[in-house]
């Protein structure tokens, strides 16, 4: 469902795929080939939310914007994750149930499932834990795998939409 908030109405690229059960509210921009999965909630009632090209926001994720939210190209916000006023670089994987609290995440990072990130993260970092800490550098093959998963997610979202 697409809803305006005050005078702010979501803007969604024609090539983006938004599941009918997702809820997009307010000043949200969803770029080309991005995909928003069932029951995801993007609520931009304070500041803007920008979802970059080819990014995937998976099932039951919650994104809100007390500060501007920016999700870079080719990033994946996995199931049940929370993004609260954060900036996320390109080709970032946010694992299942991870929480980002007003942080900046560099390009090519992996945030492990269940992590709670309260401090900024440099590019190419693998973060895990509560609180989230850098445990190692992301490997080149992990970066390539994330890119492939992102492409697969778009194709799956397209199939899901076609089967409505």
pLDDT tens digits, 135-161? 999 999 999 999 999 999 999 998 888
Q: Cα–Cα distance between 141 and 163 in angstroms, integer?
A: 33
Residue 112 pLDDT greater than 80, yes or no: yes
pLDDT at residue 131 is higher than 90: yes
Per the model's pLDDT, the better-predicted residue between 115 and 163 turns out to be 115
Residue 76's DSSP bridge partners are 56, 93
Name the residue with higher pLDDT: 164 or 102: 102
Query: Taking the CB of residue 135, how many other CB atoms lie within 10 A of it?
Result: 12
* DSSP structure string for 108-127: T-EE-TT-EE-S-B-TTEEE
What's the pLDDT score for residue 20?
Answer: 94
Average pLDDT score over the chain? 97
The 10s digit of each residue's pLDDT in 20-68 is 999 999 999 999 999 999 999 999 999 999 999 999 999 999 999 999 9
pLDDT of residue 164: 67
Q: What is the pLDDT of residue 46?
A: 95
- Find the mean pLDDT for residues 126-139: 98
Q: Which long-range contacts link 10-15 to residues 24+ away (Cβ below 8 Å)? A: 10/42, 10/44
| Domain boundaries defined on the chain | 2-162
Tell me what pLDDT residue 57 has. Answer: 98
- At residue 85, the pLDDT reads 95
Fold (topology level) of 2-162:
UDP N-Acetylglucosamine Acyltransferase; domain 1 (2.160.10)
In the Cβ-directed half-sphere of 142, how many Cα atoms lie within 13 Å? Answer: 15
């Amino acid at each position: 469902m697409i809803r305006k908030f005050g005078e702010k109405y979501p803007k969604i690229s024609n090539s983006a795929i938004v599941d009918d059960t997702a809820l997009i509210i307010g000043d949200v921009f969803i770029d080309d080939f991005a995909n928003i999965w069932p029951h995801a909630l993007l609520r931009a009632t304070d500041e803007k939310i920008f979802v970059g090209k080819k990014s995937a926001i998976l099932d039951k994720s919650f994104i809100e914007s007390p500060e501007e939210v920016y999700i870079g190209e080719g990033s994946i916000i996995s199931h049940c994750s929370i993004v609260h006023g954060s900036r996320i670089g390109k080709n970032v994987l946010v694992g299942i149930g991870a929480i980002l609290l007003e942080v900046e995440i560099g390009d090519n990072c992996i945030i492990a499932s269940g992590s709670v990130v309260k401090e900024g993260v440099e590019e190419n970092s693998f973060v895990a834990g509560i609180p989230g800490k850098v445990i190692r550098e992301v490997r080149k093959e992990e970066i390539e795998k994330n890119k492939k998963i992102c492409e697969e997610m778009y194709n799956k979202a397209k199939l899901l939409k076609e089967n409505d």
